[in-house]
Structure 1
C-alpha cells in the first residue's frame, strides 16, 4: 500500500473491518486485553473513534490554516476514562461510520498542492498532510490486527 488512493481506500474500509472483527464478541471478550498491559477490544474501538476524530480535525486545520501546530493528547490516559473502558462499542462504531464517510469525502476532494501542506507536531516535528494520511490508514489496520490476533489466540 503506497499510493494516496490506496490509503484513502483503507480509511474507507475501516468501519466495515472494525465491525466485522468485533461482531459477536461478548462483553467479557470485549473486556479482555490483547496482551499484558495492553488495551481491550472495547478500548481499541473507542480509541479509534477518538484518534480518528482528532486526525480528521487535524487534517482540516492543515488545509485551512498556515502551518498549524497540532495539539497532542495522551491516548493512554484517554483509554482509561470511563467512556473508553465501560461504554458500549456501538456508539463509537456509529461515530466511525459517519466520520469515515465524511473524512474520505474530504480527502477525495483535495488537490496535489493540498497534499504538500504541513503542520507542526510537538512530538513528531513538521509533518506533511500526505504523511498523516499514511499514518492513519495504517493506524486503523494495526488496531484491527490487534483484535484479530486476540480472537485467533483465544479461538473466538
Structure 2
C-alpha cells in the first residue's frame, strides 16, 4: 500500500486505451467489491464503523454509504451514455452528501444497495461490446468527455481505493 492514507493505493492515473485483459480485471474488481467490503466490516465490528481511516477522514460508516452513492451515480452514468449521445452528467458534492443524516444509519442498507447494484452493473459491463466502451458522457466539472472504458478503470480503482481505506482502520485507535 501507498504511504499516504488519503490515497492508500495511489491516485487514479487514466491511460489512453485499455486492453480487454485489463478491462476484464477491472470488472472483476467491481464484481468482488461488495463481498470484500462485508469481509472488512466483519473484521471492524461496530466499533470500527465509527473509526476514521485517517485524521480528518471519513469513518468506515461514511465510506460504505459513500460507495453506495458513488457507484449508483456511476451506474446511472453508464446507462445514460449507453442510451444517449454524449449526455451531460450531473456532478454531486460527495463531502456534503457525507454530512447528511442518512450517513449515520446502519450500513446494512448501503450493503444491500452495493450487492444488488454491483450484480446489475457487472452484468451490464460483461456484455458491453467494443463500440460501447468508447461511448462517452460529458462531465461539466472536468469539462471533458469521459469514455466508459475509462470509467470502468476509474471504478475498479475506486473500489480498491476505498477498500484500502477500510483496511487502514485499526480497532481502538485512529490512523
TM-score (norm 2): 0.83
| Residue in structure 1 matching 2:125, options 97, 100, 107 | 107
Q: Which runs of 5+ in 2 are unaligned?
A: 1-17
Deviations 1:87-116 (A, max 9, x none): 001111111011000000011111000001
Quick check: 1:93 aligned with 2:111? yes
> What's 2:66 paired with?
47
Count of equivalent residues: 154
TM-aligned CA deviation for residue 153 of structure 1: 8.8
- If asked which structure has higher relative contact order (CA below 8 Å, sep 6+), I would say 2
Measure the CA separation in 1 of the matches of 2:93 and 2:150. 21
TM-score (norm 1): 0.93
Q: Which contiguous aligned blocks of 4+ residues in structure 1 show a shift greater than 6 angstroms?
A: none
> What's 1:60 paired with?
79
Q: What aligned pairs does 1:1-156 form with structure 2 within 5 A after superposition?
A: 3-84=22-103, 86-124=104-142, 125-151=144-170, 154=173
TM-aligned CA deviation for residue 26 of structure 1: 3.6
Q: Which runs of 5+ in 1 are unaligned?
A: none
Deviations 1:12-62 (A, max 9, x none): 000111100111434332111111211000000000000000000101100
Measure the CA separation in 2 of the matches of 1:141 and 1:11. 9
Measure the CA separation in 1 of the matches of 2:31 and 2:172. 28
Aligned CA RMSD, in angstroms, stands at 1.9
Higher helix share: 1
Measure the CA separation in 2 of the matches of 1:115 and 1:152. 41
